[in-house]
């Protein structure tokens, strides 16, 4: 048995040998890398030890992981290294108010990677300079989960184009001051991935890349505490594979095999993949479903401490090899759990740089349906704990469903019954034909009869009433839905974080029901809100008076206002005003003496806010100028009000 001391020495020697074998110029050209390496090494060793200390190949696997970092660094092209340095000099580059994002499917938005550059002017005109391209890597047609079942992490799926075209697009984007975000689907692979194919063929080495079992003993043990993600289309968490004659863990769809990160080889392979993406020029890597990456019987297999250790380790690896790439953890979890993804203890702000503000996203839909801000305000105690130096993706919706996953307690505190309140929201947004008064047109997604849970599908426009209003040819309702859409956009754009629009929303795409005719999609109604753009419709945004024009110009103006002042950067400078009127959400953004009051009326009636609401903030200005309507208001006495029209909003600057 070697003593710990002798392990240390041999490890140091091994690292020196690694440096030599890869011809690192430790005093010269590679000095910065070597410094980063040595700065992070103790953390990498510690985190690795926590996860794999008892693994029989721990020592050699650690060295292999370190080798991957060297190789990832060496593969980085000079221009990207320079970009890394520029970002480091800027410090927290991703907190800037100058970034504004859009998430889109290359094929459904532009046709292909080749035609994508010709569509960039549309985005730039809107004010978008940060693109989340939905999964582009090879994924079997018909069993793709929108690209989230990857069969080859390094080959662009031919239906989008080629890897060369992706790199060319990135270069064009970078040259034009744009940023790129891609996904790494970390939790699982397609069952047609090479590793899964080898596992099916009986190769034990690769069976160990997944959770496979010859009988139901352990699967049954797991199932006792694991919830179901897609209870309608993919019930249960295990699938029998006839070729392998084994059960395999499939938390999402049965064609998505969960990777087993307790095997350090899986970690190494996936770190290499992440560095490969970094070297394609990715600025922000979206880590898909990180809440699920560690499994343990007797637990829900979500948000486990080891999942955080793994993410911290990944962060250190990226920080060493390709430091300009930031990380977004796509954890759609309860408010109290989400904060942990930014890191805790010694690792505060050293885990994921970004997370989705999914709680606030859902709460704005809560406010829109109920006209009441109180549940949203209850949840702020958790949300505002986000550490400095990290940021949110803020959004009204995305390619996924809207989950109502905030705490029951936030609802109960306001005097409402959590069960009945959620029932109301689900009924309000889903359309069952014989619907009551609700203007929304959406559908329930993943209803679970066992738990009563359900989430919501539908485009921003349809959920805001545009589909119904257009169908009925009701001019007043059309205007009101446009107002609601802009209210929702404004709320998420000024909230603090990087706003991520969803393509099509900028011109008011309503639900597309054609997915029902496609057997590869009909089981998943999220496709109703993933439009196929028709550029004739999109170009109507250039014709004054059209719905498309009003929405595009409105969204553009909102983004321009946000870019106009650095107090809209995510400086952890958000607070909420006292809810003098429960219909109005009042957000304050501050920097030094400067402030902006962002007010949102979620009611279908005019709502008044006492002028005292500003005085109580210590506001001494007598004029408040609204950048949205370009109107100046004189601050009146306490018993008078600033009146906001139904679904109206204001971005007020004290003058």
- Angstrom distances, CA of residue 595 to CA of 24, 224, 319, 562, 600: 50, 51, 34, 13, 16
Stretch that binds ligand GLC, among 18-26, 143-151, 189-197, 541-549 (CB under 6 A): 143-151
- Angstrom distances, CA of residue 144 to CA of 138, 466, 499: 9, 30, 27
Q: Which run of H or E residues covers position 554?
A: helix 547-563
Coil, helix or strand for 190? strand
CB of 144 to ligand GLC, least distance (A): 10
Among 400, 467, 506, 619, binds ligand GLC (CB under 6 A): 400
Binding flag, residue 145, ligand GLC (CB under 6 A): yes
Find how far residue 333's CA is from the centre of its chain.
Answer: 12
Q: Which is nearer to ligand GLC, 330 or 570 (CB)?
A: 330
CB of 572 to ligand GLC, least distance (A): 26
CB of 280 to ligand GLC, least distance (A): 20
By Cβ distance, which residue is nearest to ligand GLC?
Answer: 148
Binding flag, residue 358, ligand GLC (CB under 6 A): no
Residue identified by tokens 């809107």 is 126
CB of 609 to ligand GLC, least distance (A): 37
Binding flag, residue 387, ligand GLC (CB under 6 A): no
Query: Catalytic one among 258, 288, 351, 548?
Result: 288
Site for ligand GLC in 316-345 (CB under 6 A): 330
Site for ligand GLC in 432-471 (CB under 6 A): none
DSSP sequence for 334-356: -HHHHGGGG--GGGTTSS-SEEE
Residue 311 tokens read as: 């993410």
Q: Which is nearer to ligand GLC, 272 or 330 (CB)?
A: 330
DSSP sequence for 297-317: TTS-SSS-HHHHHHHHHHHHH
Query: Catalytic one among 30, 183, 283, 330?
Result: 330
Coil, helix or strand for 539? helix
Residue 599 tokens read as: 């007010």
Handedness of CA 305, 307, 311, 317 (dihedral sign): positive
Question: From CA 440, how far away is CA 463, in angstroms rounded?
Answer: 4
Residue 439 tokens read as: 């203007």
CB of 553 to ligand GLC, least distance (A): 30
CB of 399 to ligand GLC, least distance (A): 6
Q: At what angle do helices 305-321 and 264-280 cross, to 10 degrees?
A: 40
Q: Which is nearer to ligand GLC, 134 or 339 (CB)?
A: 134
Question: From CA 461, how far away is CA 468, in angstroms rounded?
Answer: 10
CB of 368 to ligand GLC, least distance (A): 23
Is 351 considered catalytic here?
A: no
Q: Which is nearer to ligand GLC, 288 or 351 (CB)?
A: 288
Q: Which is nearer to ligand GLC, 252 or 354 (CB)?
A: 252
Q: Which is nearer to ligand GLC, 308 or 541 (CB)?
A: 308
What is residue 210's DSSP assignment?
A: B
157 contacts 136 by C-beta, under 8 angstroms: yes
The closest of 346, 272, 324, 288 to 50, measured between CA atoms, is 346
CB of 605 to ligand GLC, least distance (A): 36
Q: How many residues bind ligand GLC (CB under 6 A)?
A: 10
CB of 329 to ligand GLC, least distance (A): 11
Stretch that binds ligand GLC, among 15-23, 140-148, 211-219, 338-346 (CB under 6 A): 140-148
State the SS3 of 619-655: CCCCEEEECCCCEEEECCCCCCEEEECCCCEEEEEEC
Binding flag, residue 146, ligand GLC (CB under 6 A): yes
Among 148, 428, 602, 647, binds ligand GLC (CB under 6 A): 148
Binding flag, residue 289, ligand GLC (CB under 6 A): yes
CB of 292 to ligand GLC, least distance (A): 9
**Vertex 290: Cα angle to 379 and 161 (nearest 5):** 120
Among 288, 366, 372, 382, binds ligand GLC (CB under 6 A): 288
Is 330 considered catalytic here?
A: yes
Stretch that binds ligand GLC, among 30-38, 123-131, 144-152, 438-446 (CB under 6 A): 144-152
Binding mask 231-260 for ligand GLC (x = CB under 6 A): ---------------------x--------
DSSP sequence for 227-258: PPSBTTTB-SSEEEETTTTEEEE-SSSTTEEE
What is residue 293's DSSP assignment?
A: S
Q: Which is nearer to ligand GLC, 74 or 233 (CB)?
A: 233
Question: What's the start-to-end Cα distance of the chain, in Å?
Answer: 73
Q: Which is nearer to ligand GLC, 441 or 530 (CB)?
A: 530
Binding flag, residue 185, ligand GLC (CB under 6 A): yes
Q: Which run of H or E residues covers position 152?
A: strand 152-156
190 contacts 140 by C-beta, under 8 angstroms: yes
Binding flag, residue 401, ligand GLC (CB under 6 A): no
452 contacts 426 by C-beta, under 8 angstroms: no
Question: From CA 613, how far away is CA 594, in angstroms rounded?
Answer: 17
Q: Which is nearer to ligand GLC, 288 or 382 (CB)?
A: 288
Q: Which is nearer to ligand GLC, 146 or 387 (CB)?
A: 146
Question: From CA 146, how far away is CA 136, in angstroms rounded?
Answer: 9
Q: Which is nearer to ligand GLC, 330 or 506 (CB)?
A: 330
169 contacts 117 by C-beta, under 8 angstroms: yes
Question: From CA 430, how far away is CA 462, in angstroms rounded?
Answer: 10
CB of 332 to ligand GLC, least distance (A): 6
Binding flag, residue 653, ligand GLC (CB under 6 A): no
Q: Which is nearer to ligand GLC, 148 or 597 (CB)?
A: 148
CB of 273 to ligand GLC, least distance (A): 15
DSSP sequence for 442-507: BEEEEEETTTTEEEEE--HHHHTTHHHHHHHT-HHHHHHHHHHHHHHHHHHHSSSSEEEEETTGGG
Question: From CA 367, how far away is CA 478, in angstroms rounded?
Answer: 20
Task: Please identify every residue annotated as catalytic.
Answer: 288, 330
Which residues are near ligand GLC by CB under 6 A?
A: 145-146, 148, 185, 252, 288-289, 330, 399-400
């Amino acid at each position: 048995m070697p003593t710990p001391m002798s392990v240390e020495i041999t490890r140091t020697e091994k690292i020196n040998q690694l440096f030599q074998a890869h011809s690192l110029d430790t005093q010269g050209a590679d000095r910065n890398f070597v410094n980063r390496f040595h700065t992070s090494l103790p953390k990498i060793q510690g985190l690795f030890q926590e996860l794999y200390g008892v693994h029989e190949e721990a020592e050699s696997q650690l060295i292999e992981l370190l080798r991957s970092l060297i190789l990832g660094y060496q593969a980085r092209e000079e221009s990207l290294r320079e970009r890394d340095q520029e970002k480091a000099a800027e410090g927290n580059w991703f907190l800037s108010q100058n970034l504004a994002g859009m998430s889109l499917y290359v094929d459904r938005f532009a046709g292909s990677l080749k035609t994508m550059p010709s569509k960039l002017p549309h985005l730039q005109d809107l004010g978008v300079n940060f693109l989340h391209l939905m999964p582009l890597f090879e994924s079997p047609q018909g069993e793709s989960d929108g690209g989230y079942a990857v069969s080859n992490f390094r080959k662009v799926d031919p239906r989008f184009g080629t890897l060369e075209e992706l790199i060319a697009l990135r270069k064009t984007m970078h040259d034009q001051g744009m940023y790129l975000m891609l996904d790494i689907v970390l939790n699982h692979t397609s069952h047609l991935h090479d590793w899964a194919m080898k596992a099916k063929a009986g190769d034990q080495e690769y069976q160990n890349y997944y959770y496979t079992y010859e009988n139901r003993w352990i699967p049954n043990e797991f199932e006792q505490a694991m919830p179901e993600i897609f209870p309608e289309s993919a019930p249960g968490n295990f699938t029998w594979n006839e070729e392998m004659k084994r059960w395999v863990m499939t938390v999402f769809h049965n064609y998505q095999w969960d990777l087993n990160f307790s095997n350090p080889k899986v970690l190494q392979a996936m770190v290499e993949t992440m560095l490969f993406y970094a070297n394609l020029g990715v600025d922000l890597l979206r880590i898909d479903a990180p809440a699920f990456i560690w499994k343990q019987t007797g637990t829900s297999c979500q948000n486990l401490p080891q999942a955080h250790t793994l993410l911290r380790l990944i962060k250190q690896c990226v920080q060493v090899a390709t430091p300009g790439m930031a990380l977004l953890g796509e954890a759609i979890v309860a408010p109290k759990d989400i904060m942990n993804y930014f890191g805790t203890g010694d690792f505060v702000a050293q885990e994921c740089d970004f997370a989705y503000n999914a709680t606030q996203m859902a709460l704005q839909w809560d406010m829109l349906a109920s006209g009441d801000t109180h549940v949203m305000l209850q949840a702020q105690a958790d949300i505002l704990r986000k550490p400095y130096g990290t940021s949110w993706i803020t959004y009204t919706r995305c390619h996924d469903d809207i989950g109502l996953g905030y705490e029951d307690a936030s609802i109960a505190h306001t005097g409402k019954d959590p069960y009945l309140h959620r029932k109301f929201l689900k009924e309000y947004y889903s359309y069952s034909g014989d619907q009551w008064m609700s203007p929304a047109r959406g559908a329930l997604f993943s209803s679970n009869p066992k738990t009563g849970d359900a989430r919501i599908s539908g485009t921003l426009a349809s959920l805001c009433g545009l589909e119904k209003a257009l169908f009925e040819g009701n001019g007043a309702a059309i205007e009101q839905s446009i107002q609601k859409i802009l209210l929702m956009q404004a709320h998420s754009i000024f909230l603090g974080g990087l706003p991520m629009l969803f393509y099509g929303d900028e011109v008011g795409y309503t639900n597309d029901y054609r997915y029902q005719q496609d057997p590869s999609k009909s089981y998943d109604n999220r496709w109703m809100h993933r439009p196929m753009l028709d550029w004739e419709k999109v170009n109507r945004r250039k014709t004054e008076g059209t719905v498309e024009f009003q929405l595009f110009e409105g969204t553009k103006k909102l983004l321009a206002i946000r870019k106009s002042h650095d107090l809209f950067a995510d400086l952890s400078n958000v607070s909420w005003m006292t809810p003098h009127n429960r219909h109005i959400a009042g957000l304050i953004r501050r920097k030094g003496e400067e402030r902006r009051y962002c007010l949102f009326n979620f009611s279908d009636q005019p709502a008044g806010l006492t002028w005292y609401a500003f005085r109580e903030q210590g506001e001494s200005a007598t004029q408040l100028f609204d950048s949205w309507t370009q109107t100046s208001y004189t601050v009146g006495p306490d018993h008078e009000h600033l009146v906001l029209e139904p679904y109206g909003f204001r971005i007020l600057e004290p003058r």
